[in-house]
Amino acid sequence: MPARGAKPKPPGQAVTRHAGLDWTEVPDVPFTGGPQLRPNRRNGKPWPEAAKRKWAAWSTMPHAATWTEADWEFAFDSIEIAAAMMGGFDQEPVVQYASELRNREKVMGTTADYRRDIRVRYTDPPSGTAKVVGLDDYRNL
């Protein structure tokens, strides 16, 4: 998908009449501390496989590390909507939930465009190749 909005002006030419908003920079490393998907949906039925895959993607997004308990509850509500929209074993898909799901995915920043809208930027993870200096080199100076 192409990026939305006007192309940025070169440095020094941009005119801003409002205070700038800061970006949240997050290392581009999958988050592993998210909660597990509940065993069953709130109605007691099992999750559709597509909903399980969607939860696996959402719960490991790098910026999910910044989420609070309320954000996770929002995500749980959103996966319920996604499961209802997808249907399930004995349910017909409810396509009327598609726009609500799209709005929620935008709030959660599930795509590159949506992350740009909420001003989240993935950065390269810190490299683990820091140079270690031996203390023996500095003894007896």
* Tens digits of residue pLDDT in 60-70: 999 999 999 99
Look at the chain and report how many structural domains it folds into.
1
Percentage above 90 pLDDT, the chain = 60
Q: What range defines the domain where residue 89 resides? A: 46-123
Is the pLDDT at 127 greater than 60? The verdict is yes
Is the pLDDT at 89 greater than 60? The verdict is no
Compute CA 57 distance to the chain's CA centroid, rounded to the nearest angstrom: 8
Is the pLDDT at 19 greater than 80? The verdict is no
107 within a domain of the structure (yes/no):
yes
Alpha-carbon distance of 24 to 63, in angstroms, equals 9
Q: Are strands 120-123 and 24-27 parallel, antiparallel or unpaired?
A: parallel
Alpha-carbon distance of 85 to 79, in angstroms, equals 10
83 within a domain of the structure (yes/no):
yes
What pLDDT score was predicted for residue 133? 67
What is the CB-side half-sphere exposure of residue 88 using CA atoms within 13 A?
Answer: 18
31 within a domain of the structure (yes/no):
no
What pLDDT score was predicted for residue 79? 96
40 within a domain of the structure (yes/no):
no
Contacts of residue 58, Cβ cutoff 8 Å, sequence gap at least 6:
64, 75, 78, 79, 108, 110
Mean pLDDT score across all residues of the chain: 86
What pLDDT score was predicted for residue 129? 63
Phi–psi pair at 99, nearest 5 degrees: -70, -35
pTM: 0.74
